[in-house]
Every structure is written in structure tokens, then in C-alpha cells.
A = this chain, B = another copy of it.
Amino acid sequence: MERYFDEELKGLHKDILAMAIMAQEAIFKSIEALKNRDAQQAKEILDYDDKIDQLELDIDEKCIDLIARHQPMAGDLRFITTGMKINAELERIADLAVDIAERVLELADKPILKPLIDIPKLSTVAQNMIHEAIDAFVKKDVELAKKVVLSDREADNLRNLVQDELINDYMSKDPSTASRAVPLLLIARHLERICDHTTNIAEDVIYMVEGKVVRHHPEELES
């Protein structure tokens, strides 16, 4: 029984990893669709999201079933409930990739506004953060989780760069750019929101391991 439970916990690791890889893939593809101005590729992300939603439900069911059948002790119970939270965050992240794809569809038939530099950078930051946050969960690695929480500042800075440039250098100078600048500005915000969800994952990992709340107090991690 005990050993079987361990096997099932490992299965939960694998499922969460699969979910994370799918979420990263959705972000990567949405930014590729943006770079290529490819409406077809953007639409594929909408279909892909159905699969991610289904996996989220399956993982959630497995977690509740695991608790109901094995009635785990405090440490394992907390690991499973943290898994449920991470699962929900990953589903939200995938939804934000869909939001990006929708903005790509709005832009696909309009002329290019500007070369993309900071948005692809922000996308890379987001994907790396997800990779590290999930790694931290599986390995119960608090130091790695703390690194993720601190990375969120870089995401905030990049988002602000994109936003300030679009408002000051484009919309405020030439009103005809507004309908193209707003979707780009929103994409930067979707990516930054993805980083926020990833920060939540890392904070949940820290709480799971240390019982210490770092939410909204990242400055304490630096001491």
C-alpha cells in the first residue's frame, strides 16, 4: 500500500511536468505565431488549450482520489494540495497563451508596427521561470524557487519597457498606430501575468517546504 502510494505520487510529478511542458509549448507557439503573423498557428493554440484543460481536470481528479483513498499524513497531503494549486496555475498560464493568440489574430491582417525585441525576450523569461518553478516543486528545491520569485522583477521591467515605448514612441506620436499598439501592449501584459502565475507556483513551493509565506514580500528573500 505504502509503496503503491509512492508510485502514485511519482505519477503526480509526471503529470504536473507534462502540464508544464504543454503550457510552455503554448507560450512558445503563441509568440512564434506573433513573429510570423500566422493566423493559422494562432488558431492551433486555441485547439491545443482544450487538451490542456482536459489534463488539468484529470490531474485534479487524481489528486482528490489520492487523498480520499490513502488519507495521507501532513507532509504528503501538503504536497498533493500544492500539486493541485500548481495545476490550476498552469491551466491559467495556458489560458494566457490563448489570450496572446487572440491578440495575434487581431494583428494578423494589419501592417507591422515595429520589429519585436522585448516581447520575445519576455516570452523567454516566462518559459524559463516555468521550467525552474516546476523543477523546484519536483525536487522540493527552495533555493531554486526563491530564484524564480526574484526573476519576476525582470519580467516587470520588460513589460514596462514595452508599454512605455508603445505609448510614448508610437501612440502619443501617431494616432493611427493605436489599433496595432494596443494588442502588443496587451501581449506584454499577458506575458507578465504568466510570470506572476509562475511566481505563485514558486511561492507555493517555498510554503510547502518551509511553511514560510513569501507572497508579496520578495525583498525578504534577498537577506
Residue of B nearest to A73 (CB): B68
A11 and B85 CA atoms in complex are apart in Å by 22
Is the pair A81, B57 in contact by a Cβ cutoff of 8 Å?
A: no
With A67-B67, A77-B64 as known contacts, state yes or no: A175 contacts B171, CB within 8 Å: yes
Task: Please indicate the chain B residues that have their CB under 8 angstroms from the CB of A213 in the complex.
Answer: 57
Contact check: which of B50, B163, B175, B215 meets A216 at CB < 8 Å?
B50
Q: Which of A39-79 contact B (CB under 8 A)?
A: 49-50, 53, 57, 63-64, 67-68, 71, 73-74, 77-78
Q: Which of A147-180 contact B (CB under 8 A)?
A: 163, 167, 171-176, 178-179
Chain A interface extent, by class:
20 to 34
Task: Please indicate the chain B residues that have their CB under 8 angstroms from the CB of A53 in the complex.
Answer: 215-216
Task: Please indicate the chain B residues that have their CB under 8 angstroms from the CB of A176 in the complex.
Answer: 172
Number of copies of this chain that the complex holds: 2
Is the pair B77, A68 in contact by a Cβ cutoff of 8 Å?
A: yes
A211–chain B nearest beta-carbon distance, Å: 10
Is the pair A68, B57 in contact by a Cβ cutoff of 8 Å?
A: no
Beyond the given A67-B67, A182-B182, could you list 12 further A-B residue pairs with CB under 8 A, ordered by the A residue number? A49-B216, A64-B77, A64-B78, A68-B73, A68-B77, A84-B84, A163-B182, A167-B179, A171-B171, A171-B182, A172-B176, A172-B178
